[in-house]
Amino acid sequence: MTEYTRHIEHYLVHSHSAFSNLIPEEKWGNKDLAQRYLQKYWLEEQEYLKVWKPMQDSIFNQGKSLPDLIFRPEIELMVLRGGCLFAEDDFKKLQKAMRAVGDNYFVVIQHSQEFTRGEPMFRMKFPVRITWDELASGNYISAVLLEMSYNEYYVFSESGKWGKYSANDFRLPLDIVGFKPEYKSIFKKNFEQSSEEWEEIKEWLPPKYKENIK
């Protein structure tokens, strides 16, 4: 049994397809595509604990959820509308930022929530230069990963210079992007935000975030 065997069976059921725009219901359930996708991009626990978990701990306050601060205090923040792990346009913006930073890989680590107890958790590793079509090529597995609302994720790279938290289970789903101050211009350039969007989001933010966003 592999670390991702439960994912293949758990998300096979068609009831999960109702939220998906990537995979039509009649095409949901291709186990071969799901298996190949997980074989290529699953992050083994041993590598996660040895290589990636220390990096994660240097960026995020582990175990925290909104309204608490999820990022460490030295990390600057910007907050965007969320709702899922990645939409195509949002992923491509992050990809440009990752390339500018010089990253080669990024990982996606699912944050366990009260209602996800007992469900298989995602732990994935992708090359920065992956195309959107390839990122979405795992049939129902990639659909659940990318589109499932309410799931929450940590996203970060080997550089340790930035991170993203998908706070999809908050009152207003949010994408919180954090970065070290010297990389602020890269992320601000790639995630341009109108004053109208920021004013709307600001109304939903917990006080700790309003105090820490410059």
Per residue in 16-43, pLDDT tens? Answer: 667 788 998 889 999 999 999 999 999 9
For 70-81, what is the mean pLDDT? 92
The secondary structure of residue 51, as a DSSP letter, is I
Rounded distance between C-alpha atoms, residue 139 and residue 24, angstroms: 10
Among the listed residues 92, 94, 120, 81, the one whose alpha carbon sits nearest the alpha carbon of residue 200:
81
114: confidence class by pLDDT, cuts 50, 70, 90:
low
- Asked whether the predicted pLDDT for residue 44 surpasses 90, the reply is yes
- Asked whether the predicted pLDDT for residue 8 surpasses 90, the reply is yes
13: confidence class by pLDDT, cuts 50, 70, 90:
confident
The residues, any chain, with a CB within 8 Å of residue 64's CB and separated by 6 or more, are 70
The order of strands in the sheet holding 152-157 is 76-81, 174-179, 162-167, 152-157, 105-111, 123-127
CB 104 within 8 A of CB 127: yes
State the burial class of residue 187 (Cβ atoms within 10 Å of its Cβ: 0-12, 13-18, 19+): buried
- Asked whether the predicted pLDDT for residue 65 surpasses 90, the reply is no
pLDDT in tens, 126-163: 999 999 999 999 999 999 999 987 889 999 999 999 99
Predicted TM-score (pTM) of the model is: 0.94
User: pLDDT above 90 covers what percent of the chain?
Assistant: 65
